[in-house]
A and B are shown apart, each in its own frame.
Chain A
Amino acid sequence: MIIDQLIWVPILTGLIVLVLGEKRSNLSYSLSLVISSALFFLSIYMYLLFDNTLASYQFELKVPWIDRFNINYHLGIDGISLPLIMLTTFLSPIVIFTAKTSPKNKMHQYIASFLILEGMMIGVFSSLDAFLFYVFWEAMLIPMFLIIGIWGGKNRIYATIKFFLYTFLGSVFMLIAIIYLYMKTGSYLISDFYEVSLSLNQQILIFLAFLFAFAVKIPMWPVHTWLPDAHVEAPTGGSVILAAILLKMGGYGFLRFSLPITPDASLFLAPIMIALSLIAIIYIGLVALAQTDMKKLIAYSSISHMGFVTLGCFVFFIQSGAIELDTINLAISGAMIQMISHGLISAALFLSIGVMYDRLHTRNIEDYGGIVTKMPKFSVLMVFFALSNAALPGTSGFVGELTVILASFKVNIYIALLSALTLIIGAAYTLWMIKRVIFGAVTNEKINSLSDMKLIEAIPLSLIAILILLIGVWPKPLTDTMNSTILALSYLVNG
């Protein structure tokens, strides 16, 4: 029942906010802030009730929905979905909180979009019925489309339509695959799909259909081009949610659908997946180096970091000899930690860029320089986030990337070496940006008149910083939550 509330309370609050209208947007702001924070505490309560030792779904809720096609309103969580739900409930109040920092037209619609989006994202992570999953997965596009389109930058219409069409094209193939699996099993239950026996050719087709949906979402090279556009044009809140949570749905999809439903096809296509991941990690990392726009740089860095997620999902398949359960465990845990860690770091970086953008209204790296002289407190946090993005030991970014690289070492040393290049490239593009933006001489006169960040901007950034540090030095609570589920998944993958 808790999951039910996590989904529907924000959506209903969003509708109430819409009804309250533009004139009462202050009331709406406080109301949604209270509700979304309460939801975060509710998710902590759920975390405390969650039994780490069980691999099965918990907090299950099953109500018949469309009898004729055996579709159920079926919710439940396991060790993979719980951390992602917590990430969602943690970041949503932060995004709503920061809505006030830059005044906007139609504030009530802005807040309502995020609240409705929050409910749908939790729905994606907790659906156990493939049909329900697809409903949430697609419905999510609508608020995101509006957020980028209404409150975005100059080129927002192009960016949002590109975003919509790309993701929509990807997911319709998933719909075909889901319907096909229903025809085979007579049920839309995801765990029933795990047991269906398919020939290798069928598996490959289904794998590709799912791959298209998830690859666009993650996004993998070469279907990543919508992401830099969407990120640059989206308002700060939109970028945060997009980078921190929407991208994770692709990785979640691989773990929930592709690996357990089509393990043979995953084995067969793993070399291609690994190649694509390495291209994302190295090539996109180099592309990030060349960016002049801060948001674009972080967007490319996101693609590069998400390459570790796909690498972690597939690297163990190419082990010579029998696949060891330990390797699978390590790789998938690494992918999961990387998802959570990247969710926090990219959110923090986009928020930081938002803080600067609200003051100077430019995202060009050239326009900045010497921020540290005027905004020392902000600079401390910004540098910290940049270092975590470059996987500094002691931050969550290090844990995720190291785990995936370790798993790669067990499999193939060349893959490990290539993926470890990111430690150099990532440090290069992030630190070079920091050097040009935060340090150096003040070249832009406007910077001299800047004031340091306000409390309203400091609170969300500090909260995220604490969490990044916490996972960096003590990842055990996170890994403990996931362990049993990932172990069960490893058995499924290993047949």
Chain B
Amino acid sequence: MQSMNLELTLIMPELIIASAICLLILVNSFLTSEKRYTGLIIGSITMAACALISMVFLIETTNSSIFNNHYRIDPLSTGLKFTTYLISLFIFIATKTNKENTKSELVLLELFAILGVSILASSNNLLTLYLGLETLTLSMYGLVASKRSSEIATESAMKFFILGAIASAIFLYGVSFIYGLHGTLFFDQFNNETINNSIEMQLALAFIICGIAFKFGAVPFHSWVPDTYQGASTSSALFISTIPKLGAFALIYRLLYEAFIANVEFWSLLILLLGLLSLILGNIIAIAQDNLRRILGYSAVGHIGFILIGLSIGSIDGAIAALAYLVIYILMTATAFMSIEVISTEKRAVVTLTDIKDLNSTHPWISLIMLFSMFSMIGIPPFIGFYAKWIILSELINSDMLVIALIGIIVSVIAAYYYLRIVWYMYFEKNELPIMKGSPNIFQKTSISLMGLSILLLGLYPSPIINFCRSIIPPFLLID
């Protein structure tokens, strides 16, 4: 039993976020001006502070359980939190300096979502996990719906909410099964072998995996992904496409790799199936899309497929590969959405492929960064996306899953077409009537350049990402 003081120190990032949320609510009720930067300022400072604190935890490799074993601060949780805070900082700077995005309700919701991810990452108990999950999901509904005047945003938020609520219910149903079977909610206590081998346990796991698949946006629970990417404002879509994925990784790792590792043979099959379906369907449907955001939505489904396939290997190396893929995917997709965000204006949001026609003539630098991001998503070296695909393929071949690796690469080649289409519209199409597009400010330019260059530079020297993922995943599984 640790002292209260230590426990409070360890959850410092969460406390800071919670206080920032309270502060933001207070400040906003006294400020009425339309153009206000309180959200930007408070949000960025909070994220910077939290990132610093979790970096300290990460360096000290803090590893302890607090609050009666409900909450855990280990390298994995601090690592995921650190990534979350850092990327959120970039997102805040890139989106909230835009005069049209200053509504601080958005920052509020995003901070709630970040809090949810933090709790998810640290949970050591199904109840804590559910708390974090719902904090995250509920604020996501709000984010999607935040574009109040838009019909399509409202529609997609409604769909998202209904499907999400059902998924949460299914997940909770599975959790209640687990409690009924094991009589406990703590991750480290599901070790009764007879129960673990029972059919009821497998049923419960199937329910839980449905919930996880929904949060990840894996086929067949993917229909909300393209809808919300299309409906939400670009800044919200940027957030939704990145941060919650880290939460979903925490969810899947904590549950499958820690709590239910004894059933690895059962769940790895399910995850592999989900992964293959997402990989194939996501990438093939994306070819038929003309809406840039729907393309990115289906591409997200396809990438999730790769991540799930990595996780389905069921080994530490597989999890490391999947985490590396996830971090790299977030970097790429954030860059792509940021590029769309900074060239959109209120009157003319970038929605379809024709909106980026001949972007190379008006915004050569932004289109170069978009090009980096697209080739990176295809998996062409020297961009970082190549290493993501390569590390998953290596682990697949290492575990004798050569056929899956072959399917993966063939689908990657098919997927290359729609990424190339984006490049083609930016570079090859001629635009007779130049359309004036938004001109990014200095903050946006800086953050997008940093993200874009990191795709290239980390691609030239990928060891930091590989080593980071290696250092935060525990070196052995409980089952070993």
A-to-B contact residues, CB < 8 Å: 18, 21, 65-69, 106, 109, 134-135, 138-139, 141-142, 145-146, 149-150, 156-157, 160-161, 164-165, 168-169, 172-173, 175-176, 179-180, 182-183
Contacts and interface: CB of A to CB of B under 8 A. Distances in A.
Interface residues of B, number: 35
Interface string B194-220: 000000000000000000000000000
Interface string B282-321: 0000000000000000000000000000000000000000
A173 B409 contact: yes
A36 to B, nearest CB: 21
A168 B411 CA distance: 12
A157 B420 CA distance: 10
B380 A161 contact: no
B393 A175 contact: yes
A176 B406 contact: yes
Contact of B416 (A21, A109, A135, A168): A168
Q: Is the interface of A mostly helix, strand, loop or mixed?
A: helix
Nearest to B396: A179
Contacts of B362: none
Interface stretch (B15-23, B48-56, B463-471): B463-471
27 contacts: A65-B463, A66-B462, A68-B463, A68-B466, A135-B381, A135-B386, A139-B382, A142-B375, A145-B420, A145-B423, A149-B428, A156-B428, A160-B428, A161-B420, A165-B413, A165-B416, A165-B417, A165-B420, A168-B380, A172-B412, A172-B413, A173-B409, A175-B393, A176-B402, A179-B393, A182-B394, A183-B398
B213 to A, nearest CB: 27
Pairs of residues from A and B, 9 with the lowest C-beta to C-beta distance, nearest first = A135-B381, A172-B409, A149-B428, A169-B413, A179-B397, A138-B381, A179-B394, A138-B380, A139-B381
Nearest to A69: B394
Contacts of B378: 168
A165 B382 CA distance: 18
Contact of A176 (B393, B398, B428): B393
B427 A150 contact: yes
Interface string B440-475: 000000000000000000000111001100100000
B424 interface: yes
B332 interface: no
B358 to A, nearest CB: 11
A65 B413 CA distance: 27
A157 B424 contact: yes
A67 B364 CA distance: 36
B178 interface: no
B412 A139 contact: no
Interface in B426-443: 427-428
A144 to B, nearest CB: 12
A2 to B, nearest CB: 21
A179 B405 CA distance: 11
Nearest to B414: A165
A370 to B, nearest CB: 36
Contacts of A161: 417, 420, 424
A216 to B, nearest CB: 12
A135 B387 CA distance: 10
A26 to B, nearest CB: 18
Nearest to A173: B409
Nearest to A64: B463
A485 to B, nearest CB: 27
Given A161-B424, A175-B393, A67 B463 contact: yes
A107 B360 CA distance: 13
Contacts of A142: 375, 380
A70 B467 CA distance: 14
Nearest to B372: A142
B177 interface: no
A101 to B, nearest CB: 22
Interface in B352-380: 360-361, 364, 368, 375, 378, 380
A176 B409 contact: yes
Nearest to B393: A179
Contact of B380 (A66, A139, A146, A173): A139
B186 interface: no
Contacts of B428: 149-150, 156-157, 160
Given A66-B462, A157-B424, A182-B394, A138 B386 contact: yes
Contacts of A164: 416, 420
A110 to B, nearest CB: 12
Contact of B397 (A18, A141, A172, A183): A183
A66 B463 contact: yes
B255 to A, nearest CB: 27
Contacts of B381: 134-135, 138-139
B409 A135 contact: no
Contacts of A138: 380-381, 386
A135 B382 contact: yes
Contacts of B397: 176, 179-180, 183
Contacts of B423: 145, 149
A238 to B, nearest CB: 14
Given A21-B364, A164-B416, A176-B405, 20 more contacts: A18-B368, A65-B461, A68-B463, A109-B360, A134-B381, A135-B386, A146-B427, A149-B423, A149-B424, A164-B420, A168-B378, A168-B380, A168-B416, A169-B410, A172-B410, A175-B390, A176-B393, A176-B402, A176-B409, A179-B397
Contacts of B364: 21
Nearest to A161: B420
A164 B420 CA distance: 9
Contacts of B361: 106
Contacts of B368: 18
A314 B216 CA distance: 50
B380 A68 contact: no
A401 to B, nearest CB: 35
A172 B381 CA distance: 12
Nearest to B462: A66
